[in-house]
Amino acid sequence: MSSSWPVLPQYEAWRETCDTLHAHTQVLGKLAVALAPPEPQLQHAALRLTARGWETLALPAPDGSGAIVAALDLASHDAVAEHSDGRSRRIPLGPDRPVGEVTRELIDAVRALAGEVTIDPTPQEVTWTVPLDEDDEHTTYDRAQVRTYFAAATQVALVLAAFRAPFRGRSTPVNAWWGSFDLAVNLFSGQPAEPPSDDFIFRNAMDAQEVAIGWWPGDARYGKAAFYAYAHPAPDHFSSGTLDPPAARWEEPLGEFVLDWDDVVASPDPHDAALSFAQSAFRHSCTVCEWEPRLLASAEGTPPPVV
């Protein structure tokens, strides 16, 4: 089973391609922000991981002609704009094309298919500041590295979907977040919460009691791929929990539980190891955060989701 779970390099080993791919996802996210009806917890801004890569949901065409979808096809290595009437345009991603060039061509494609649209090109939640449509710094796109990343991300999305499936409270789909370049699912207790700060994202995304389980491929803060879990708000003793599998641990600098990708892939059943991490993190969170017991029971299949 582990053969379909690829070994991932450390972030530094593929940083140039990772950051370029991350920047491309931000363009999709900016289109979603510009065109989608606003939703609680900024759900309208989230993207999805599909069988071909990252993409938006169907977005209202600015000219009222139907719907438009923007995508990164990680099989053909194209940025794609598709109209609901069947028209589409493709823009090559690499191997050596600047993010700014791809951004300008993709926005022009959306305009040609669906009408005028303007995005805020300022990158978010990253270390670089050059506007996306002017970005000539990020040019590296190694197709083999992207394929490895996408194979890993696909397995992650399947785990997160299996984890959230039985839950009977409110939850998100498996979101692909273009700011932090992670995949995550959020489960909610139904109670409000005080945001951790007045920052725009925190103020709007973290105003409800939640448990988040996710995964990222590594970044400058944490230089390797890992699953993560946190609760908001969490009591002071939240970090004292013991999760499954044994390799899971509390990472104090992040303020989250983590399970490194290498430990998952090395296990006899990577899917089961990752799912156990998600389930044990949710069980611990519900217990110490004093959630309604029926919500935890539902996540563990009581009552069963299909009868």
Domain ranges within the chain, ordered by starting residue = 8-134, 143-299
pLDDT of res. 2: 44
Q: Residue 258's closest CA among 234, 285, 232, 226?
A: 226
Q: Kindly give, in sequence order, each residue whose CB lies less than 8 Å from that of residue 93, ignoring residues fewer than 6 positions away.
A: 24, 72, 77, 78, 79, 102, 141
Q: Provide the token pair at 137.
A: 């710094």
Smallest CA-to-CA distance from 66 within 48, 45, 87 is with: 87
Predicted confidence (pLDDT) per residue in 30-88, tens digit:
999 999 999 999 999 999 999 999 999 999 999 999 999 999 999 999 999 999 999 99
For residues 252-276, give the mean pLDDT. 97
Is residue 1 pLDDT above 50, yes or no?
Answer: no
Predicted structure pTM score? 0.96
